[in-house]
Structure 1
């Protein structure tokens, strides 16, 4: 590893005219000096294209493609990157200025590290909530049943190349988690900077929200694709699934005992009785 490795910051953008400048500025303002910024326009609308054109002087490269999804946008950006380290950044989010510097320090300190991300400050549309999300990181066993890192993270270009990049057939979400499974499947760990250095907007109609709607179909696809790992770590895999099921059951029980639920049941009961008569 060189003293001052180049970091290529890849920002896929699809119809994010409102937020893309803040994302680009957060890349520009990183305290780590040796970086390039590549924005991939994933078939955005005219308004976003106008904004991207006005920001072109701030970035090193603007790549344009037909709308094909985040995986292809990220892969296209990385293919044209010059850096030995890659940082992917969603166009509606932004990093705090010190992330790159702290991530590179972790890579230099431990050769076993293959992925670095951080805690995230979740920004909700109604701005009434404040929540810090704390991914746990770890080795492949931490990624068997769910993602233990953020979708925006840093990794080595050489590792991306060896494991085949992002799966471009995954256009409905969870492509980052699936990529991390392949990235860590042979060896290595994901490290977490234990500070909220990423600002993550929780919005409607994003790839993440769409992934939640297609949750079980996507889970089945990932579990099937990596069946060999689930068999290899069978005890850990089943333990994690059972913990998740137990947690969901507790949440259901808790919701059923909330006053709002009981009140709703009380109001709806006579309507259900009337409906049953006319069946």
Structure 2
């Protein structure tokens, strides 16, 4: 039987350096049958990705105007050719065995998600170097996840037919589109946590993707709560929430597979060569 085609949907906006590292991490995957869909949300050109990685099956989709990441993911869905879909943010990374392992685990599930390592970083030679890292691994407790979701969408893999039943991602949820997708999926399909920290979630103290914007997120959290009847939910800072007893008590054992080494992209190597020539 032919190995299934995995369609990877990556929305991006003005982060060519970061998304290049993600593409490099996809090139390093032990599972090779990939369709990579990069949805450029009306940002700077990303054509360099197809030029630098000609051996990869990369489709670049251009949004006519900037409509933010949920709309971009939905546009990506229109280009899916595979039987399975993998989601990933443009600044996150996957260890080389991630997709192979997720496909194996999907045999008795409809959606699988892994644990993650969250890493802080600095930029050196056009590449992110991890400075701190910690494991984000929590038990798959559906009832508890109605109050605090520990589902990380980056690296999750699921069967394409989920969208036949659920429809596209809900743009009204915005910041909480992934929590909404999890809640809708778990209601109708088999969802499984895989205890391996093979997705790498980037966070920079100098203004990363989990900074203190939680009050701006309140209207969307209220919409999510009303949609799923979740009751009153807190908008505390992400790291403060992790210390809540009912969250910390769910911490789980997981397999650490990342060696901590940076993922040097072909774009970074090209820029280093050009810089060396300038000073040559």
Is the pair's TM-score, using the shorter chain for normalization, greater than 0.5?
yes
Cross-structure match for 1:155: 158
Give the equivalent residue in structure 1 for 2:148: 146
| 1:139 CA drift (Å) | 5.5
Describe the superposition over 1:31-69 as per-residue Cα deviations: whole angstroms up to 9, x where unpaired: 112211111111113xx4464464473443110002111
Contact residue 9 and residue 36 of structure 1 kept, 8 A: yes
Question: Deviation string for 1:201-228 (max 9, x for gaps)?
Answer: 113556543753424333222111111x
| TM-score in terms of structure 1 length | 0.71
| Aligned counterpart, 2:169 | 166
Which has the bigger relative contact order, CA under 8 A and spacing at least 6? Answer: 2
Tell me which structure has the larger Cα radius of gyration: 1
1:214 to 197, 213, 216: 216
Query: What is the match of residue 95 of structure 1?
Result: 94
Aligned match of 1:259: none
In the alignment, structure 1 segments of 5+ residues that lack a partner are: 238-243, 249-279
Q: Distance in 2 between matches of 1:246 and 1:50?
A: 42
- SS for the counterpart of 2:14 is coil
Q: Distance in 2 between matches of 1:129 and 1:97?
A: 21
Aligned to 2:193: 191
CA contact (8 A) 1:29 1:97 kept: yes
TM superposition shift of 1:192: 2.4
Corresponding residue for residue 115 of structure 1: 112
Alpha carbons of 1:37 and 1:210: their partners in 2 closer, same or farther (altered >3 Å)?
farther
| Structure with a larger share of its residues in helix | 1
Displacement, 1:148? 1.7
Contact 2:119 2:130 in 1 (8 A): no
TM superposition shift of 1:142: 3.8
Equivalent residue for 1:271? none
Q: Please list the CA deviations of residues 62-82 of structure 1 after superposition, one character each: whole Å capped at 9, or x if unmatched.
A: 100021111111121122111
Change (3 A) 1:107 1:137: farther
Contact kept, 8 Å, 2:105 with 2:194, in 1: the verdict is: no
After the TM superposition, which residues 66-77 of structure 1 pair with which residues of structure 2 at under 5 Å, given as runs?
66-77=65-76
CA drift at 1:138: 2.3
The DSSP-based 3-state class of the residue aligned with 2:75 is helix
Query: Judging changes above 3 Å, is the alpha-carbon distance between structure 1 residues 158 and 50 closer, same or farther for their aligned structure 2 residues?
Result: closer
Shift of the 135–246 alpha-carbon distance from structure 1 to 2, 3 Å rule, reads: closer
**Aligned 1:13-52 pairs, distance under 5 A:** 13-45=12-44, 48-49=45-46, 51-52=48-49
Alignment CA distance shift 1:164-1:142 (3 Å): farther
Cα pair distance change 1:214/1:184, threshold 3 Å: same
Determine if the alignment matches structure 1 residue 200 to structure 2 residue 205.
no
Kept after mapping to 2: 8 A contact 1:123/1:201: yes
Query: d(CA) in 2 for partners of 1:32 and 1:128?
Result: 25
SS at match of 1:18: helix
Q: Which residue of 2 aligns with 1:63?
A: 61
After TM superposition, where is structure 1 displaced by more than 6 Å over at least 4 residues in a row?
A: none
Task: Give the TM-score of the pair, scaled to structure 2.
Answer: 0.71
- Counterpart Cα distance in 2 of 1:25 and 1:245: 31
- The CA RMSD over aligned residues, in Å, is 3.1
Write the distance in 2 (CA, Å) between the matches of 1:156 and 1:142.
Answer: 25
